Structure 1
C-alpha cells in the first residue's frame, strides 16, 4: 500500500496578488506540516474571481463595469506560476487562475510542482454571464503526476456527469474540482449549511466520486467577493462516495490520507465496476446537441467580445 496525504482548501482570495501569495504560502505550510503530497486550492486563487455573474437583464453600464474589474490575466510560463512552483518544491499543487492566450481570457486551472507545470485545463461549462468575460475550453484530459494520474475541472463542470466521466475514462484516479461556488441568488438562507446551492455542491461532489469510482477533491472560495458569497465546503471524497474530510461551511484546510490504488480496487472490485460495465452503444442520446426543450447550448448564443 502507498498512502497519499491530501489537503484541500476553502479560502478567500481577491485582487491583491501579494495577499494571494501570502495566503497560498500559509496553506502550503499547513499542508506540508500535515505531511501532504497534494494540495488543492480554489478556482481563481491568483487574483480572485468575477465580482458578479451578469447577463440577462444586466445593463450595459453594469456589464462594462464588470469587464473593467476582471482578474489579472496570466500565462502558463509567466512569473506568477513560476513563483508558485518555487514555493511548491516537492508538493503537487492544483490552483485556479485567469489565463491569457493573446487577447482572449480563460477561466483556467493548473497542476504543478517544483519542476513546473504538470497539466493545465480551461473551463468548459460556463454559468450565466461567465461567457461575457471568458472563452470556453474544449477538452478534458487526464495527465500523469508524481501522486498519480489526475484530471481537473472547474466549478459548474461538476454539474455535468459527462465531464467527470470523460476524465475517468482517460484513466484519472484523482479528479480535482476547483470552485468559486456561491450561494443561491434566490431563496437565500441565513446559514450556509441551509443554502440550496451549498447542498447542491455537496451532492454533486459525492455523486461524481461514486459514479466514477475515483478520489474526488473539491476546493472552493470562502468569504465574499463583489456580490458573491461563497459556500466553502471543501472536501475529499472517496471512490465509494464517502466524505473523508471536509471544512464544512467554514474556511480552512481539510486533510485525509488515502491509499488511492487500494481504495479504487475496493470500489471497482466489489461487483460494481461502473466504468467497465458501461453500455456506450445505447447512450447516443446523451451526446445529442439539443435537449428535449430544444434550447441551444449557451455557447451557441451570441457572445460578447472578451476584454
Structure 2
C-alpha cells in the first residue's frame, strides 16, 4: 500500500524586518506540527523579513541567511521533522560589483541534512526583478526525501506549467510552493472586475496543477491583518479531492493533514499523464492499428 504522510502547512504574518521574532514564531508552529505527528512543515516565502527590499537595513539583514538556515537545520533535528523554511533571501558577494540577492527554498530532512535547494526562477515584475537574481537557465531538479520524490517552486513559478512538467518528468510526486502572494498583485482593472481575483487565480491554478500532473501540492502563503491585502489560502491539494485543507484568506494559522500517496497512483493510472510524457514518440503521436503489437496506445 502507498504511504500516508502527515503534512503541516503554515500561514503566518511575516512582520517586516523582525527576523528573530518571525523565526521564533515559525519555530513554535514547527514544534506544534511535530507534536501532531507531521513529517513535514512548510513555511511561506519571505517569512523572516517580509518583502521590503527598499528598507535601509534589508540587505544587511539578508547577510545573516546562513545563521537562520543552520537554526532550521537544528530545529529539524531537534524535533525530528522535515522543514521547508519558506524562502531565505541570501546576500552574496557583499560589497562587490557582483553583489546579488537570491530568493532560495531549502528542503531540510528530519536529521537536519539539506536534501534540496531551489532558487526562484520566475521573478514577479520589476517589484522583484529590480532587486533579485533569478536561477535563469538552471534546470528544475526533483530529489528524494522521506516523503518521496519532491520538487520545489516559489510563488510566481506556479503560473508556468513548463516548470511542473520538468519536475514530474523526473518523478516528483509532491510539489512544494512557499509563497508571498497578495490580493493587490492584481491590476486595478482586474480588481474592478473581481476584488478577490488573485484568490480565484490561486484556487483555480493549484487545483488544475494537481490534476494535470497527478501530484500533491503543498502551498504555503503568507497571512496577515485584514485589509492589508494578504491572500492567504494556504492549502494541500491532490487529484480528485482538490484541497484537502485550505486556510482562510488572510488569518494566521496552521493546518495538519494526511496525504494519501495512493491517490496519486490512482490518478496516474486513470489519466496516464506521466506515462504519456515518458513516451519516446511524445508530442503527440497516436496511431490506430488493427494489430495490437503495432498499436501505439
- Answer whether TM exceeds 0.5 for this pair: yes
In structure 2, the CA distance between the partners of 1:189 and 1:139, relative to structure 1 (3 Å rule), is: same
2:106 to 105, 110, 113: 110
In structure 2, the CA distance between the partners of 1:44 and 1:126, relative to structure 1 (3 Å rule), is: same
- SS of the aligned residue for 2:273 comes to coil
- Which residue does the alignment assign to 2:132? 134
Tell which structure's C-alpha radius of gyration is larger.
2
1:203-214 correspondence runs (5 A): 203-214=204-215
- SS of the aligned residue for 1:265 comes to helix
1:156-305 correspondence runs (5 A): 156-183=156-183, 184-186=186-188, 195-223=196-224, 229-240=229-240, 242-249=242-249, 250-260=251-261, 262-270=262-270, 272-278=271-277, 280-282=282-284
1:7-22 correspondence runs (5 A): 7-13=8-14, 14-22=16-24
Distance between the aligned counterparts of 1:282 and 1:269, measured in 2?
19
Distance between the aligned counterparts of 1:228 and 1:110, measured in 2?
28
2:83 to 93, 101, 104: 93
Distance between the aligned counterparts of 1:213 and 1:71, measured in 2?
42
* Larger mean Cα displacement after TM superposition, 227-236 or 103-112: 227-236
1:73 to 49, 62, 67: 62
Tell me, which stretches of 5 or more residues in structure 1 are unaligned? Answer: 52-64, 284-307
Q: Give the superposition deviation at 1:229.
A: 2.6
- SS of the aligned residue for 1:125 comes to coil
Q: How many residues are aligned here? A: 264
TM-score by length of 1: 0.78
Contact 2:7 2:40 in 1 (8 A): yes
In structure 2, the CA distance between the partners of 1:229 and 1:3, relative to structure 1 (3 Å rule), is: same
CA RMSD, aligned part only?
2.6
Distance between the aligned counterparts of 1:232 and 1:132, measured in 2?
25
Contact 1:50 1:70 in 2 (8 A): no
- SS of the aligned residue for 1:276 comes to helix
Contact 2:76 2:112 in 1 (8 A): no
